[in-house]
Homo-oligomer: A and B are copies of this chain.
Amino acid sequence: MDDPVLLTGAAGRVGTAILGGIADKYEWRLLDREPPTGEVDHEYVVADITDEEAIREAVDGVGAIIHLAGDPRPEAPWDSVLQNNIDGTQTILEAAVDAGVEKFAFASSNHAVGAFETDERKPDIYRTHDEFRLDGTELPRPSNLYGVSKASGEVLGRYYHDHYDIDVVCVRIGNLTKDHPPIDYERGQAMWLSYRDCAHLFDRCVEADYDYEIVYGISDNDRKYYSIERAKEVLGYEPQDNSAHFDD
């Protein structure tokens, strides 16, 4: 990707993981509603994701967008996810297709499908012997209204891909933690995503050719109940980490 890459929600945890791994690889345009707390080596735009005019300016001239901005709280109230996550995603997708952006990677979430973890399936679903897998072809079953908003963002991506010339990949991000997997938390270990695998995965979302995809963003954990086959096949994702390689 020779054109600049826009990273929204750049100051958040996922943005930090991505920049920690591939800051030198692209000409970045960072966007966040909070101003930077330290020195920044890249262009930095302070804007709210629902500010249509600011977003139109921010997408101008970029080749790809990694869209992380939104209310990240699983317990976020409806009004906030309606505005920041659903309306915000529509705002930037509309601006992106008008500006001719080629690729759009959307930070979806494991909460879009959290209700597959039924009482009948738990805790076996989190253990290595269990063969239950979600692969991205299933209809969403959100854990919460935040998850509803992420599933709606996936549908918006589908619409804009089908009707305009933009590739869209939705990454259902697992449990992103730095340095090591969550401790004493089987579910978090099953859906662990290491910082370096996160950076590599979104790098592939910028570099690979695809049409419309829903993939799971987790490391190659022994415990997994999310398939990473599609991410490997379509994006060339090659995770290096596995929560089983850490002593709990």
Residues of A within 8 A of B (CB): 78, 82, 86-87, 90, 94, 115, 137, 139-142, 144-145, 147-148, 151-152, 155-156, 158-159, 162-163, 214
Contact = CB atoms under 8 A, between A and B. Distances in A.
Nearest to A156: B148
B115 A140 contact: no
Given A140-B158, A142-B158, 11 more contacts: A78-B94, A82-B82, A115-B159, A139-B139, A139-B158, A140-B155, A141-B159, A142-B162, A148-B155, A148-B156, A152-B155
A150 to B, nearest CB: 9
Question: What is the predominant secondary structure among interface residues of chain A facing chain B?
Answer: helix
Contacts of A159: 115, 141-142, 144-145, 147-148
Given A90-B78, A163-B115, A155 B142 contact: yes
A106 to B, nearest CB: 14
A134 to B, nearest CB: 13
Contacts of A139: 137, 139, 158, 214
Name the 7 nearest CB pairs between A and B, nearest first.
A115-B162, A152-B152, A151-B155, A142-B159, A148-B159, A148-B155, A140-B155
Nearest to A81: B90
